[in-house]
Structure 1
Amino acid sequence: MTKSSPYFIRPETVSGFGFDWGQLTLTVGPEVNGAERFSGGIVDVAPGGGHARHNHPGAEEIILVMSGTGEQMVEDEDGNPVTQQVGAGCTIYVPESRFHSTLNTGDTPMQLFVVYSPAGPEQALRELPDFRLLPPGA
């Protein structure tokens, strides 16, 4: 049996945030393992699903596409939307407070790893109307 450690977090051991379009499972952050300067986790986006245009005031975000294909929008410095097709291996940088959105355009799930700096903007997702807390392993 492996002893629990705050340094090695498996997604199936923590609760997730469920939405109509998919889920976010935080695997690092203040409430997960005490990380103070950033938070992050795995995002699963269902085929045809995606999250609406939104921003994280005061926070930057990094998105790494682990699998699947989609369309990513990030606002430029003038507030104009810049959209590109993305796939496995692509890293997306979302500057502080910029609006962005993700859409899974493929026929398989799209999996992302996201990092927020500073930690915390993901907690606002709890206020969305389709939010539901998922038990570990769901």
Structure 2
Amino acid sequence: MSTRDHMFLYPKDVTIFGFDWGELALTVAPEVNGSERFSGGVVDLPSGKGHARHNHPGAEEIIFVISGNGEQMIEDENGNPTVHPVGPGCTIYIPESRFHSTTNTGDGPMQLFVVYSPAGPERALRELPDFRLIPPAERHSQ
């Protein structure tokens, strides 16, 4: 791929991070296209699935709901959780190091676009026990 090809990526073009709760297609990252200050990609959550409570030490996150409906939990600065319903078009800001979780509560798939700043929190995902790499040709969702 040329440098220009790395600037225009679809989720189907990259190796997917697979988990029991869904998939992450990392389309922007230092190792994908040389981005220096942030990383991000498309998350697909099947109905009833979601990622467990976690945080990204030293990083902020933006979540944009592309499709589907769910619940977003974010803990406040005292560790008290707040849960909000979210749907298509909702932008969610996760402050630095704040614990959060997302769950698909709808009948169909939920798709999100996530951005981490600075880049790097996605590297820790490789350490999770259910982590697996899915080559582009084996991906089930679009």
Tell me the C-alpha RMSD between the 2 structures: 1.4
Counterpart of 1:27 in structure 2 is: 27
Deviates more, 1:111-120 or 1:7-16: 7-16
The reply on whether 1:106 has 2:106 as its aligned counterpart is yes
Q: Normalized against structure 2, the TM-score is what? A: 0.93
Counterpart of 1:47 in structure 2 is: 47
Sequence identity percentage: 73
Counterpart of 1:80 in structure 2 is: 80
Q: Deviations over 1:36-90 (max 9, x none)?
A: 1000000000100000000000000000000000010011122211110000000
What does 1:1-138 align with in structure 2 at a 5 Å threshold?
A: 5-137=5-137, 138=139
Unpaired runs of 5+ in structure 1?
none
> What residue identity is the alignment partner of 2:13?
T
> What residue identity is the alignment partner of 2:110?
M
Aligned length: 137
What is the CA–CA distance in structure 2 between the aligned matches of 1:10 and 1:85, rounded to whole Å? 28
Runs of 4 or more, structure 1, over 2 Å off, are none
Secondary structure of the 1:57 match is coil
How many angstroms does 1:21 deviate by? 1.1
How many angstroms does 1:7 deviate by? 1.4
Structure having the larger proportion of residues in helix: 2
> What residue identity is the alignment partner of 1:33?
N
How many angstroms does 1:93 deviate by? 0.3
How many angstroms does 1:4 deviate by? 5.4
> What residue identity is the alignment partner of 2:109?
P
